[in-house]
């Protein structure tokens, strides 16, 4: 995990820890929010293909790791909420599982709820964040059918495109091509245009051809900030120019109608309001995105007390984080058969949190794999999960794992 200090929630403000006691966390979550004088709120749904990095981005935005992350698909199974409270503004992150289709779901035997889930959180969102992994050259040049379906079903909800893992992309000029494909060349009702300066750039070894006009005063000192918004800003020297308005799309009305027939040959969505480029894993541009989200918030009551970081119970966080490690270190089919049972959850003499969990597996061979030669695998899982839990709860954690055949 990343030390909390590396990604502050906001300048000079550390995200609150998660309570270690179930009742205490429950009280916190159900606590009447401490409303400021003029509260503002924004509910953000993050959608994207499985493994686009949604949970990593959530953790980075929150400034503390509370969502499990793994290279395997479908680490996220819960409808957890992340909560970011900064001054008078509260962002509520609705973490949706990767949008997937019924066929794949059957293969991974995911429950029905997970399939309907993304749509469910969309209904409550004020803003949709579409995350695309640009390091995946199979999928990066078109939005998935599921994502397009989702966007066209909720065209009235403002959406922004976030290109993730841009640090892995060797050829930076591809970013422009990807951005154009995914937006059909239109952002915020303006056409994306490439200036000639850019064309020379792509031949030279320029770092990034995207000299983008800054979005807002708040983001002005941050490189890689979203594509320009300010109408009155001098555009010269910028890599992209949003010229002429396109057929009134800039009026914020969203598309009129997008039937299924349009989706067949559609690759992008021409109604994004902004594009962000970041590497969620390193939190570099995450702050720019966070400032943007804070600025988009509308007046309205907070939903959670400012001490709440996530709606998950401490046990859920613990289960999810251990599960994440199990997914990470075991071959594909094994982890999905593991059942977790918490035997002990108590405070030790020195105030440390004592957790003993049994991992129940269906077969003896699975047990051997999970324990590993000389107990290597299981102790590594316990060690790494323990470290993550310390970061989440901000207290010492002693974690013991036992493996048994069901």
Burial code of 289-319, b = ≥16 C-beta within 10 A, e = fewer? bbbbbbebbeeeebbbbbbbbbbbbbbbbbb
Q: Rounded to an integer, what distance in angstroms lies between the CA atom of residue 156 and that of residue 167?
A: 32
Co-location of 281 and 383 in the same domain: no
Q: Is residue 234 part of a domain?
A: no
Q: Are residues 281 and 339 in the same domain?
A: no
CA distance 163 to 182: 10
Give yes or no: residues 186 and 320 share one domain: no
pLDDT mean over 158-171 = 90
Q: Is residue 300 domain-shared with residue 397, that is, in the same domain?
A: no
Give per-residue pLDDT as tens, 173-227: 889 899 999 999 999 999 887 654 444 444 433 344 444 443 333 333 334 444 4
Residues 163 and 301 both lie in one domain: yes
- Residues 32 and 143 grouped into a single domain: yes
Predicted confidence at residue 298, as pLDDT, reads: 96
What's the pLDDT at 387? 92
The residue that leads in pLDDT, 208 or 167, is 167
Give residue 39's pLDDT: 94
- Tally of structural domains, the chain: 2
288 and 331 part of one domain: no
Specify whether 293 is located in the same domain as 337.
no
Mean pLDDT of 78-91: 83
Asked if the model's pLDDT at residue 79 lies above 50, the reply is yes
Which band of pLDDT confidence, cut at 50, 70 and 90, is reported for residue 274? very high
Report the pLDDT value the prediction gives residue 107, as an integer from 0 to 100. 46
352: CATH:
3.30.300.20
Give me the residues paired with residue 316 across strands: none
Q: Give the other-Cβ count within 10 Å of 168's Cβ.
A: 12
Q: Is residue 323 part of a domain?
A: yes
Q: What is the pLDDT of residue 342?
A: 94
Last residue in a domain, options 251, 277, 311: 311
Decide if 32 contacts 21 (C-beta within 8 A).
Answer: no
Are residues 185 and 318 part of one domain?
Answer: no
Determine, yes or no, domain membership for 253: no
Q: Are residues 317 and 287 in the same domain?
A: no
Residue 123 domain boundaries: 10-194+265-311
pLDDT at residue 302 above 80?
Answer: yes
Q: Are residues 49 and 156 in the same domain?
A: yes
Q: Please indicate, yes or no, whether residues 337 and 395 belong to a single structural domain of this protein.
A: yes
What does the pLDDT look like over 85-135, one tens digit per residue?
Answer: 999 999 998 866 555 444 444 444 444 444 445 566 678 899 999 999 998
Reply yes or no on whether the pLDDT at 136 is more than 90: no
* Buried-exposed string 134-155: b where 16+ CB fall within 10 A, e elsewhere: bbeeebbbbbbebbbbbbbebb
């Amino acid at each position: 995990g990343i030390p909390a200090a590396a990604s502050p929630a906001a300048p000079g403000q550390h995200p609150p820890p998660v309570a270690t006691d179930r009742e205490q966390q429950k009280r916190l979550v159900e606590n009447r929010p401490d409303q400021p004088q003029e509260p503002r709120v924004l509910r953000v749904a993050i959608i994207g293909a499985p493994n686009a990095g949604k949970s990593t981005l959530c953790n980075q935005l929150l400034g503390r790791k509370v969502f499990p992350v793994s290279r395997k698909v479908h680490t996220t199974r819960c409808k957890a909420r992340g909560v970011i409270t900064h001054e008078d503004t509260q962002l509520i992150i609705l973490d949706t599982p990767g949008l997937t289709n019924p066929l794949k779901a059957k293969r991974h035997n995911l429950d029905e709820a997970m399939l309907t889930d993304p749509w469910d959180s969309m209904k409550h969102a004020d803003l949709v964040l579409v995350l695309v992994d640009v390091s995946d050259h199979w999928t990066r040049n078109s939005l998935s059918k599921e994502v397009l379906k989702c966007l066209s079903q909720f065209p009235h909800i403002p959406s922004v495109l976030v290109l993730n893992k841009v640090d892995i992309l060797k050829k930076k000029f591809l970013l422009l091509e990807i951005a154009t494909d995914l937006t059909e060349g239109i952002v915020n009702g303006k056409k994306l245009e490439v200036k000639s300066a850019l064309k020379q750039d792509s031949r030279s070894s320029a770092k990034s051809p995207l000299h983008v006009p800054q979005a807002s005063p708040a983001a002005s000192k941050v490189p890689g900030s979203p594509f320009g918004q300010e109408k009155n800003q001098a555009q010269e020297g910028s890599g992209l120019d949003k010229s002429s308005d396109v057929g009134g799309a800039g009026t914020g009305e969203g598309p009129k109608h997008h039937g299924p027939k349009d989706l067949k040959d559609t690759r992008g969505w021409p109604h994004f309001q902004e594009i962000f480029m970041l590497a969620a894993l390193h939190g570099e541009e995450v702050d720019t995105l966070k400032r943007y989200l804070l600025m988009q918030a509308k007046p309205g009551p907070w939903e959670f007390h400012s001490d709440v970081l996530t709606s998950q119970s401490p046990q859920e966080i613990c289960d999810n984080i251990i599960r994440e490690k199990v997914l990470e270190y075991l071959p594909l089919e094994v982890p999905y058969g593991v059942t977790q049972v918490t035997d002990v959850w108590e405070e030790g003499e020195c105030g440390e949190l004592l957790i003993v969990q049994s991992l129940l597996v269906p077969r003896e061979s699975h047990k051997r794999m999970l324990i590993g030669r000389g107990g290597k695998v299981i102790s590594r899982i316990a060690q790494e999960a323990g470290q993550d839990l310390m970061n989440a709860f901000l207290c010492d954690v002693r974690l013991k794992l036992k493996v048994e055949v069901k």
